[in-house]
Structure formats: C-alpha cells, structure tokens
Structure 1
Amino acid sequence: MITNFKLTPATLDDIPRIQEIAYKTWATAYKNVISSEQITYMLEMMYNTQTLSKLIQQPDFLFYLINDGAGIAALELHYENTISKLHKIYILPEHQGKGLGKKTIQSLTNISQNAGDKSIILNVNKKNAATHFYEKCGFIRWRSEVIDIGGDYVMDDYVYRKDFSALR
C-alpha cells in the first residue's frame, strides 16, 4: 500500500512525461479493448503537445502527476453546472495494485467537493476491466453513450457517476 501520496499540478514542462505515461499505460490498458489503430489514433488526438498545452492552461481543467510520475490524472471542475468530469486516470503498470488509483480518486473527490461540485462523472469503455475499479470506488453506472471521435472510430462507453451526497 501507498504511505506517501502526492498529486502535483502538471505544467507545460511535464508534457513529455504525460505523453510517456499515456503511451505506456494505453499499450496495456486497451490492447484487448480497441484496435491498435484506434489506440494510435486516440493517443495522437488526445496527447499531442498542442492539445495538452491548451488543457493544462485552462483554469478549471486540473492535470496532475501522481507520485512524481507514477501516473497521471485530469479533472475538469464545473464540467456541467455542479458536476466535475474525471477525464483521465492512468497508473503505470509497475505502480498498479498499490492503492495509487484509489488514493487519486479520493483526492480528486475532495478537490471537486471543495470547488463546490456535487458529483463526478467519467467515461470508461464498456470492455475495459477498469469498470470494476470505479464501482469499488463508489461510482455507479449512470448511462451508456457512443461518441464519434472521427477517423471512423467511436468510443462505446459507460458513463459512471459518483454523487457526493452519498458521502456525507
């Protein structure tokens, strides 16, 4: 288990590390979920330097390095009124199973609550084994959605939700 835990706000200087973590985690997390072509397409679309630069500079989009680069997380406050959206949480394979993901979810929940939001939502591919992790962390399956992301690809996701009223 993790004894020392730290979320560090990412800066523009962290972009190469964010990209490295994304590429390493996606290679294992999605290899049996979506095609290698779609993995490449999505990584190039979501983790290019220009996209990451814009996100890191948005005041309500919080990008973090977890434990100095063991993973990354991105939370958007006030995504829809009083709902935060967890866009990314990726832990490098060698750091998985040690409680980092759970600690990250707890910390992001606190950040969202302190900002005045009342719940967090996230999307997860229907075939992704991480659905069980989110359910263990108190998220409930809220709805399904299919999102056209271009390039003849879609994201076929469940949307999970965690309401903070249940935490009081």
Structure 2
Amino acid sequence: MKIEITKVHTADQITLVARLAGQIWREHYVSMITIEQIDYMIEKFQSVSAITDQIRNQGYEYYLLLQQDGSAAGYLSIRADNGKLFLSKFYVSKEHRGRGYASQAMAFIEQLCKERGLSHIWLTVNRDNASSIAVYEKKGFVNVREQVADIGNGYVMDDFIMEKEIAFV
C-alpha cells in the first residue's frame, strides 16, 4: 500500500503527531522502560509544545505518514546535522507495521539526503529495541557506537547510534 508523506505545518498536524506519539510510545516501549519514563519522555520530547518548539526553533522537520484514506499510520522527524541527516523520530503504529511503510519512508528520507547533499543518515535506538534494530540493519544501517544520555528527572536514554551512508550514484 502506498503512503503519502506530508510535512507537518499546522497546529492540527502537530496535535496529531503528539497523539500518535503517546499511542505508539506507550504500546512499544513499555517492555523496555517504565511507564513513568515513557510519560516523562512524551511530555519532554513529543508533546504539542515540544514538537512546536522543535519545528520553530531547533531546525526539525516533522512528516506524517498518511494512508490513502488520509488517516495517519505514523510519523518521522529529521534535522540536518553537520553534513548528515539525523533521523530523530521514526514511528509506525502497531496496526500498520509490516505493510512496507517503513521502506517507503526510508526511500523518502534517502531522497531528501541526496537532494540536500547529506552523506549519511544517523539515528539513536534503544539498545533493547531488538525489532527496530533489526529493521534498521535490514535497511543498511550499522551500529557505530553506544551512548548513554541523561535526559533529566533521573532518567537516561541507553542507545546505540546507527548510521547509513548515502550513495550518490
């Protein structure tokens, strides 16, 4: 099934992304981190105010992954970073996984890199997130290092940093 990838501009779109984040994070991360940390991270990084600030002041771009009927299947967030593209967020709702949406979104991201002259895509992924790590490896990402980042309130993000080189053929 083909998806439409739409850049987030409006307050309604930002609200939709925040709602998707709450749903996806609570269903996916509960086996890796506590619900208290999930709630803290959603408020800090994926609330309407946090997303709005990221778009307006921090150079992030958000995109909705829309099905043919217009309903949202997921979202992603990117930012140029020292000649590379940082894939900050990349989430597909549980009921929409396995339909090729991640492949379509990754092709879109790779095309953005080529258009913008960015040499790599890099991301952070929770080291216990085996299913996402497997998807990224299948898409050509390699683990380049580990990172433990203090995010406040006594919480840390314990991640792998993965990277994929973009071929300019």
Tell me what 1:75 maps to: 78
Greater mean deviation of Cα atoms: 53-62 or 102-111 = 53-62
TM-score, length-scaled by structure 2:
0.91
SS in 2 for 1:70: strand
TM superposition shift of 1:55: 1.9
The answer for unaligned runs of 5 or more in structure 1 is none
Tell me what 1:102 maps to: 103
Say what the alpha-carbon RMSD is for the aligned residues: 1.5
Cα distance in 2 for residues equivalent to 1:5 and 1:38: 31
Q: Within the alignment, does 1:85 sit opposite 2:83 as a pair?
A: no
SS in 2 for 1:31: helix
Counterparts of residues 111-130 of structure 1 (less than 5 Å) = 111-129=112-130, 130=132
SS in 1 for 2:31: coil
Aligned pair count reads 163
Tell me what 2:154 maps to: 152
Q: CA contact under 8 A between 1:29 and 1:128: conserved in structure 2?
A: no
Tell me what 1:8 maps to: 6
TM superposition shift of 1:59: 8.2
Greater mean deviation of Cα atoms: 46-55 or 29-38 = 46-55
TM-score, length-scaled by structure 1:
0.91
Cα distance in 2 for residues equivalent to 1:58 and 1:96: 31
TM superposition shift of 1:5: 2.0
Tell me what 1:31 maps to: 30
